[in-house]
């Protein structure tokens, strides 16, 4: 396969690099003699579920190895089904799969899950989904149509992914691997990829498996492995190895290279049938951190020839695996593998299962279920774990204890191991925690034991020595505040031989002196030591650098009047706890951004503006207040305005001021100096009292106020009296005039309004033809108008009349009565009159003037209705029709019918649903044919059709149609001769019939025709009435014999004879007209005629040509060209068919007399058409295919 740049083929168990680190020992067998197909280990309880051949189901207790046969619970569903897979939900719930359904087992009962629950497709594998964190009761179902999720508690199936040929390769408490619906698009030549998802509790990856070409066509098993136990501690997907098995062995490559078909890969077990791939984790508690190589993972491979296991690959990305044969199991054929689990611990706060002990391997074989135990001890001797360290300083092997200082020893992490501490080689009693506190000098270490395998490992050794603890004074308060911008100084005792190291926020600083000066806030402490190590820490002191608090400006009053003095005060908060190097505050004031005089906390001012203040303490440590707005109230004197210059008695005066109150002022109206309390805070008032009106405005914020100039109001005249007693609504006939009148009195003035709008009428009477709401105002003085009530005037038009007929339909000749109907009008129309009527037909006026009219003619009728002169309304046009049924006509489907035909009768009448169509035969109705436009019948008789209107009593009948059926003609076809017919002959066919005309399938119309081709010939005879019958005859012409005897050659010069052979099996042979046999012998050149006759009497002829041809060249030395037809030409045998031959004839003197390229035309003894005399001549013959020249003499004899 030229597209892979690198190949590695390896029979790993023979590898020189093998690093075996595990043995397997047989620990027993259950279900002996059974062909065990599938084995599944339940996670939290000690049970196996087993699927065996012949649809047997077992549950095995892994502790007692007791076997429970559950086959009977499933037997009802086993008929005609094959159990192909099993998934465990818990110790009492399992799901068995057939190709089309699931068998859900719960404590002895079985529920069938199939198409009704949403399951579709052909099932190939199932698995319990331990990675569905939020619902751990889901079984994944892989089918040829995609992946389904079966929720066992709800008995519900959901299709999650739709794609072809889903499949689950691996399912366990730590691994799930299945075909996904991703399309890689990375196929190359004959190699294709199958995308897979690889999931574990630490994450998931997607990769590709290869098949086709050198990889084989069927993926039988697949697995993925991490280069560390990432299930428990996490690691990059960079270290994931993919394994897959086909009929060509086991393949392996890195997951991150699986989409590149030129990547290097490994090929194991060539020629072996691999059935299952998985792995076993060992020594998990020794996985302390990423730098300790303690735990391991070994790949397990089941084959038809036994079980193999790999060396471990833990914390290494390399994938050069070596495989070892399990001798104790032998060459048993492996169907499935499941790792046995013993739980060690559990994290209650996480969905990730606890660290577990994988202490065995269950192997499903063709003759039982075997348990193998891993043994790591032979390969783990004298290993020391470098995982022990001092708690206060890592990476050192020896520390000094100063005075009463305590030092602790700790593991690198919290292992799930049994811990035993040792000092100077002696076990320390009752000490098994992850840490140990040292109080004495000595050499310390711990021995760690794996509770699963029993293997123990010793840690690295640490040494502790004794020293003297330092003494010092560091008496600072817990918190120190310094002025921002200054330097804080912390001091501890300076003694000979002491060493110092300072910390800020727990981080080691660079200062190693007894004095620390800093400008950075933080939490400071110092550590001292008087010996090699054993640092003693001071208390922690928090150092802060405080900025002057932001000052706040306040005023002595909330508001000021123009001319008042405002007093402003700056207040700065006091810092809690005091400031070590604080100074008294200094102040600087500003107005509108410009510095002003004043260096105290309080200033006075008469000017408005934006004020702020700077407060300084400790040189350069200054804070600025927010701006404070100072304003002075200045009220503009208001002006009182009246809405009219004068008022009549009865009027209402409106007064207003030009002032907008924002709510911070009080507005008081006064009449002749007295406050009008009811109008307080109004900007306009209404009044009917004469007098002097003033307004005062006072600020609510301060004692500021102004008063307006007086406004005098005076009322004169009397109030008008009048009568206007109309109803609220008046109706008039449309087209008339409405009149409204009010009292007409001397000295009164009038003004009329329509719909609230003043019009030009200033009299006591209003005449109008326009609808609207009318009123009039009256006055007796210069102003002071008094209004009447408002009257609505309407003009009513005659309602639109409608026309009604006394019947829904009329027959032609009937009398129709039409009536004009006019809707009611409102009661109380002032000048209403009785209705007058005028009728029209097709737009032309009629003489009738009443509400009713009788007519007998169709047309468009309309009526006009009039009330009150000129008030006329017209109705819509009313179409009046009279039913006139045309005489129906009956038509037949064809001119005549034969006995046995079905006749079709139809009428030209089209029924719109308002008619009844009645068919009659011999005067009797045919109910079954009612309302049909056409009928079919085989009964002769006199037929009629009658049409009746469903709307009224109108009908019309057709003429009688006499239907009869003719007797059909007869026809027979005969062959004129009845001998054997051979291809190429003709035969006459004759049709015999009684009446009518004949038509052959050849298109001919004579009673007798001649045919020469095989086939079926049909003749049809038709009568004038349309009756037709036909007959047919089959004619077969026998094939003539086929001759293909090849032409032949003979050498006449040697009197050669040849035998011609004809094909055998014919009844008669004739050669050149003479009866013979299958063979014919001749020694003559020319044509031979062959004629054969077969057993059917059919003949064939062939002419066979016999030409001259000799194997050797025969040259005559004389010939006699005298014209007697005998030996007239110089015939040379052996030159036939050679176009390269050159023949030349010369005279005695060398003159060229004859030359021929090829010798198709022999020499006749002439030269240029003239006869040459008798005598001796000379020839030269040459050919391109030979270097030999033939020459000699030739004599002409005459």
Over residues 702-727, mean pLDDT: 85
What superfamily would CATH give domain 729-795? Immunoglobulins (2.60.40.10)
CA atoms within 13 A on the CB side of 935: 21
Spatial distance between the Cα atoms of 1167 and 394, rounded to a whole number of angstroms: 130
**Which candidate, 633, 157, 835, places its Cα nearest to that of 149?**
157
pLDDT of residue 101: 94
Q: Cα 368 from chain centroid?
A: 47
pLDDT in tens, 828-853: 788 777 888 999 999 999 988 898 99
User: Which two three-digit tokens encode residue 1175?
Assistant: 């005598």
d(CA 98, CA 159): 18
Residue recorded with tokens 């006995």: 899
Would the pLDDT of 31 be above 80?
yes
Structurally, at CATH architecture level, domain 971-1035 sits in Sandwich (2.60)
Q: How far apart are CA 718 and CA 783, in angstroms?
A: 11
The rounded distance, in Å, linking the Cα atoms of 704 and 707 is: 11
CATH number for the segment(s) 552-633? 2.60.40.10
pLDDT band at 533 (very low <50, low <70, confident <90, very high): low
What is the strand order of the sheet 138-143 is part of?
Answer: 123-128, 138-143, 146-151, 156-162
Chain centroid, CA 990 distance in Å: 74
941-963 as b/e, with b when 16 or more CB fall inside 10 Å? eebbbbbebeeeebebebeebeb
1016, β-bridge pairs: 1034
Q: Work out whether strand 987-993 and strand 971-975 pair parallel, antiparallel, or are unpaired.
A: antiparallel
Residue 247 exposed, middle or buried by CB count within 10 Å (0-12, 13-18, 19+): middle
Give me 160's structure tokens.
């999650």
pLDDT in tens, 465-491: 877 778 889 999 999 888 888 888 999
Report the half-sphere exposure of 463 (CA within 13 A, side-chain side): 3
User: How is the chain split into domains, by residue range?
Assistant: 1-37+174-380, 44-172, 385-467, 479-546, 552-633, 640-716, 729-795, 802-880, 890-966, 971-1035, 1048-1108, 1118-1196
pLDDT at 15 over 50: no
Q: Which residue has the tokens 């004043």?
A: 598
**Which of the listed CATH numbers 3.50.50.60, 2.60.40.10, 3.40.50.2300, 2.40.30.10 matches domain 640-716?**
2.60.40.10
Helix (H) or strand (E) holding 61: strand 56-61
Q: Report the distance separating Cα 1140 and Cα 1184, nearest Å.
A: 6
**Tens-digit pLDDT profile for residues 745-788:** 887 889 999 999 998 889 999 999 899 999 998 887 766 788 99
Q: Which residues contact 1150 (CB under 8 A, 6 or more apart)?
A: none
- Considering Cα of 385, then 391, then 397, then 398, what sign does the dihedral take? negative
Q: State the pLDDT at residue 290.
A: 46
Give the span between the Cα atoms of 312 and 20, in whole angstroms. 8
Catalogue the long-range contacts made by 606-615 (C-beta closer than 8 Å, 24 or more residues apart): 606/563, 606/564, 606/565, 606/566, 608/632, 611/553, 611/568, 612/553, 613/551, 613/553, 613/570, 613/587, 613/588, 613/589, 614/587, 614/588, 614/590, 615/548, 615/551, 615/570, 615/572, 615/585, 615/586, 615/587
- Residues 1159/1141, Cβ–Cβ less than 8 Å: yes
Tokens standing for residue 5: 């740049």
Whole-angstrom distance, CA of residue 309 vs CA of residue 363:
13
CB contact at 8 A, 502 and 516:
yes
pLDDT digits (tens, 9 = 90+) for 959-1003: 999 988 888 888 898 888 767 788 888 889 899 988 888 999 999
CA angle 756, 758, 761 (to 5 degrees): 130
pLDDT at 451: 79
Percent of the chain residues past pLDDT 90, beyond the cut: 44
Stretch 628-633: mean pLDDT, rounded?
A: 90
- Phi and psi torsions of 1127, nearest 5°: 55, 40
Contacts of 750 (CB under 8 A, 6+ apart): 742, 761, 762, 763, 764, 776, 777, 778
Q: Three-state DSSP class for 1054?
A: helix
The CATH-assigned architecture of domain 385-467 is: Sandwich (2.60)
Query: What tens digit of pLDDT does each residue of 587-603 get?
Result: 999 999 999 988 899 99
By residue count, the chain amounts to 1198
Look at residues 869, 802, 875 and name the one whose alpha carbon lies nearest to residue 835: 869
Q: Is 708 left (phi over 0), alpha (psi -120 to 50) or beta?
A: beta
Q: How far apart are CA 27 and CA 371, in angstroms?
A: 5
Q: What is the pLDDT of residue 80?
A: 84
- What confidence tens digit (pLDDT) does each residue in 632-686 have? 888 889 999 998 777 777 778 899 999 898 888 999 999 999 999 999 999 999 9
Using the 8-state DSSP alphabet, how is residue 285 labeled? Answer: G
Give Cα 733 to chain centroid, integer Å: 74
Q: Indicate the pTM of the whole model.
A: 0.45
Q: What is the pLDDT of residue 85?
A: 96
Q: For the domain bounded by 44-172, which CATH number is listed?
A: 2.130.10.10
Contact 686, 748 (CB under 8 A): no
pLDDT at 1109 over 80: no
Four-CA torsion 485, 490, 491, 492, nearest 10 degrees:
-170
CATH for the stretch 890-966: 2.60.40.10
CATH of domain 802-880: 2.60.40.10
Tokens of 215: 């990889």
3-class SS of residue 1025: coil
Q: Which two tokens stand for residue 708?
A: 């307006």
Region of poorest pLDDT, from 500-514, 623-637, 1108-1122: 1108-1122
Q: Beta partners for 209?
A: 194
Give residue 1059's pLDDT: 93
Contact 286, 260 (CB under 8 A): no
Determine how β-strand 1118-1119 pairs with β-strand 1190-1196.
parallel
In CATH terms, the fold of domain 479-546 is: Immunoglobulin-like (2.60.40)
Instruction: Tell me the average pLDDT across 1165-1174.
Output: 92
Which class would CATH give 1118-1196?
mainly beta
- What's the whole-number average pLDDT of the chain? 86
DSSP string of 487-504?
-EEEE----TT-EEEEEE
| Angstrom distance (rounded) from CA 448 to CA 425 | 15
3-state secondary structure at position 186: coil
Tokens read off for 656:
């207003």
Predicted confidence (pLDDT) per residue in 305-353, tens digit? 999 999 986 544 556 788 999 999 999 999 999 999 876 444 444 444 4
pLDDT score of 346: 42
Q: Which residue in 132, 116, 139, 135 sits closest to 49, CA to CA?
A: 139
- As a whole number of Å, the end-to-end CA separation of the chain is 86
Are the folds of 44-172 and 479-546 the same?
A: no
Among 222-231, 402-411, 750-759, 784-793, the range scoring the smallest mean pLDDT is: 222-231
- Tell me: pLDDT of 1165 over 90: yes
């Amino acid at each position: 396969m030229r597209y892979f740049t690198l190949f590695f083929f390896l029979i790993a168990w023979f590898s020189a690099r093998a690093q075996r680190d595990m043995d397997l020992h047989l620990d027993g067998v259950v279900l002996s003699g059974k062909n065990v197909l599938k084995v599944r280990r339940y996670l939290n309880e000690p049970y196996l579920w087993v699927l065996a051949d012949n649809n047997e189901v077992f549950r095995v207790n892994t502790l007692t190895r007791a076997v429970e046969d559950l086959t009977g619970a499933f037997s009802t569903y086993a008929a005609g089904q094959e159990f192909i897979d099993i998934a465990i939900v818990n110790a009492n719930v399992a799901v068995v799969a057939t190709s089309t359904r699931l068998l859900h087992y719960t404590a002895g009962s079985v529920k069938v899950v199939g198409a009704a629950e949403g399951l579709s497709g052909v099932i190939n594998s199932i698995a319990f989904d331990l990675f569905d964190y939020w619902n751990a009761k889901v079984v994944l179902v892989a089918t040829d149509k995609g992946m389904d999720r079966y929720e066992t508690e709800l008995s519900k199936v959901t299709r999650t992914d739709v794609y072809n040929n889903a499949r689950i390769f691996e399912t366990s408490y730590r691994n799930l691997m299945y075909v996904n619906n991703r399309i890689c698009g990375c196929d190359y030549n004959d190699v294709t990829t199958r995308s897979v998802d690889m999931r574990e509790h630490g994450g998931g990856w997607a990769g590709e498996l290869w098949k086709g070409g050198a990889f084989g066509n069927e993926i039988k098993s697949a697995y993925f492995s991490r280069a560390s136990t990432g299930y428990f501690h996490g690691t990059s997907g960079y270290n994931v190895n993919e394994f897959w098995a086909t009929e060509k062995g086991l393949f392996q490559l890195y997951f991150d290279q699986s989409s590149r078909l030129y990547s290097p890969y490994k090929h194991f077990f060539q020629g072996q049938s691999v059935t299952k791939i998985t792995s076993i984790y060992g020594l998990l508690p020794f996985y302390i951190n990423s730098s300790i190589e303690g735990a391991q993972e070994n790949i397990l491979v089941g084959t038809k020839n036994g079980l193999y296991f790999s060396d471990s690959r833990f914390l290494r990305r390399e994938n050069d695996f070596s495989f070892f044969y399990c001798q104790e199991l032998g060459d048993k054929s492996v169907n499935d593998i499941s790792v046995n689990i013993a739980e060690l611990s559990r994290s209650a706060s996480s969905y990730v299962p606890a660290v577990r002990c994988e202490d065995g391997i269950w192997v499903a074989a063709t003759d039982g279920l075997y348990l193998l135990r891993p043994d790591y001890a032979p390969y783990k001797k004298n290993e020391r774990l470098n995982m022990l360290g001092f708690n206060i300083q890592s990476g050192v092997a020896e520390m000094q204890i100063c005075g009463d200082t305590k030092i602790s020893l700790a593991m690198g992490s919290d292992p799930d191991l049994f811990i035993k501490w040792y000092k100077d080689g002696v076990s320390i009693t009752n000490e098994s925690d992850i840490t140990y506190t040292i109080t004495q000098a000595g050499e310390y270490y711990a021995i760690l034991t794996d509770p699963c395998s029993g293997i123990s490992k010793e840690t690295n050794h640490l040494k502790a020595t004794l020293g003297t603890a330092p003494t010092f004074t560091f008496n600072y308060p817990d918190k120190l505040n310094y002025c921002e911008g200054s330097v804080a100084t912390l001091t501890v005792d300076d003694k000979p031989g002491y060493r110092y190291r300072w910390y800020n926020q727990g981080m080691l600083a660079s200062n190693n002196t007894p004095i620390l000066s800093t400008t950075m806030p933080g939490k400071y402490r110092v550590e001292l030591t008087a010996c090699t190590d054993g640092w003693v820490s001071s208390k922690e002191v928090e150092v802060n650098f405080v900025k002057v608090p932001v000052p706040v400006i306040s005023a002595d009053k909330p508001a000021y009047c123009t001319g008042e003095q405002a007093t402003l005060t700056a207040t700065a908060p006091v810092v809690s706890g005091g400031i070590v190097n604080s100074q008294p505050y200094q102040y600087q004031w500003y107005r509108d951004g410009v510095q002003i005089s004043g260096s105290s906390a309080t200033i006075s001012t008469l000017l408005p503006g934006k004020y702020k203040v700077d407060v300084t303490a400790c040189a350069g440590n200054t804070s600025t207040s927010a701006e404070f707005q100072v304003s002075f109230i200045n009220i503009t004197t208001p002006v009182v305005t009246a809405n009219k210059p004068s008022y009549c008695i009865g009027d209402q005066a409106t007064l207003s001021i030009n002032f907008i109150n924002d709510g911070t002022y009080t507005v008081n109206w006064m009449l002749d100096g007295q406050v009008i309390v009811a109008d307080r805070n109004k900007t306009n008032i209404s009044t009917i009292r004469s007098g002097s009106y003033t307004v005062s405005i006072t600020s609510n914020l301060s004692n500021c106020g102004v008063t307006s100039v007086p406004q005098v109001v005076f009322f004169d005249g009397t109030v008008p009296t009048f009568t206007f007693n109309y109803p609220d609504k008046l109706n008039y006939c449309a087209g008339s005039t409405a009149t409204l009148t009010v009292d007409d009195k001397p000295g009164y003035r009038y003004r009329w309004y329509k719909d609230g709008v003043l019009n030009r009428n200033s009299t006591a009477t209003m005449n109008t033809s326009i609808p609207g709401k009318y009123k009039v105002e009256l006055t007796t003085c210069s102003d002071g108008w008094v209004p009447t009530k408002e009257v609505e005037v309407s003009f009513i038009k005659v309602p639109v009349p409608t026309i009604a007929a006394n019947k829904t339909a009329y027959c032609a000749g009937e009398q129709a009565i039409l009536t004009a109907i006019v809707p009611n009008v409102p009661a109380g129309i002032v000048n209403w009159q009785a209705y007058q009527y005028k009728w029209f037909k097709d737009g032309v006026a009629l003489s009738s003037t009443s509400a009713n009219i009788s007519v007998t003619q169709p047309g468009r009728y309309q009526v006009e209705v009039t009330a009150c002169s000129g008030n006329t309304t017209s109705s819509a046009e009313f179409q009046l029709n009279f039913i006139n049924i045309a005489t129906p006509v009956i038509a037949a489907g064809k001119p005549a019918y034969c006995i046995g035909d079905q006749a079709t009768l139809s009428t030209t009448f089209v029924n719109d649903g308002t008619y009844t169509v009645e068919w009659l035969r011999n005067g009797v109705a045919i109910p079954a044919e009612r309302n049909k436009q056409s009928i079919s019948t085989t009964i002769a008789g006199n037929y009629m059709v009658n049409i009746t209107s469903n709307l009224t009593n109108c009908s019309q009948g057709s003429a009688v149609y006499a239907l009869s059926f003719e007797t059909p003609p007869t026809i027979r076809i005969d062959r004129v001769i009845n001998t054997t017919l051979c291809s190429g002959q003709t035969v006459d066919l004759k049709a015999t019939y009684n009446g009518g005309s004949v038509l052959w399938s050849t298109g001919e119309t004579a009673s007798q025709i001649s045919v020469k081709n095989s086939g079926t010939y049909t003749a049809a005879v038709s009568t004038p009435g349309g009756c037709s019958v036909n007959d047919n005859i089959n004619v077969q012409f026998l094939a003539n014999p086929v001759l293909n005897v090849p032409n032949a050659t003979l050498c006449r010069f040697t009197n050669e004879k040849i035998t011609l052979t004809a094909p055998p099996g014919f009844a008669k042979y004739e050669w050149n007209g003479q009866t013979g046999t299958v063979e014919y012998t001749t020694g003559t050149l020319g044509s031979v005629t062959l004629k054969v006759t077969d057993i059917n009497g059919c003949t064939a002829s062939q002419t066979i040509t016999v030409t001259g041809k000799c194997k050797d060249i025969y040259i005559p030395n004389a010939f006699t060209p005298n014209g007697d037809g005998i030996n007239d030409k110089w015939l040379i045998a052996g030159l036939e068919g050679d176009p390269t031959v050159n023949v030349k004839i010369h005279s005695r003197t060398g003159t060229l007399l004859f030359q021929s390229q090829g010798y198709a035309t022999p020499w006749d003894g002439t030269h240029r058409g003239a006869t040459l005399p008798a005598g001796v001549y000379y020839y030269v013959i040459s050919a391109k295919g030979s270097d030999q020249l033939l020459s000699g003499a030739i004599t002409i004899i005459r």
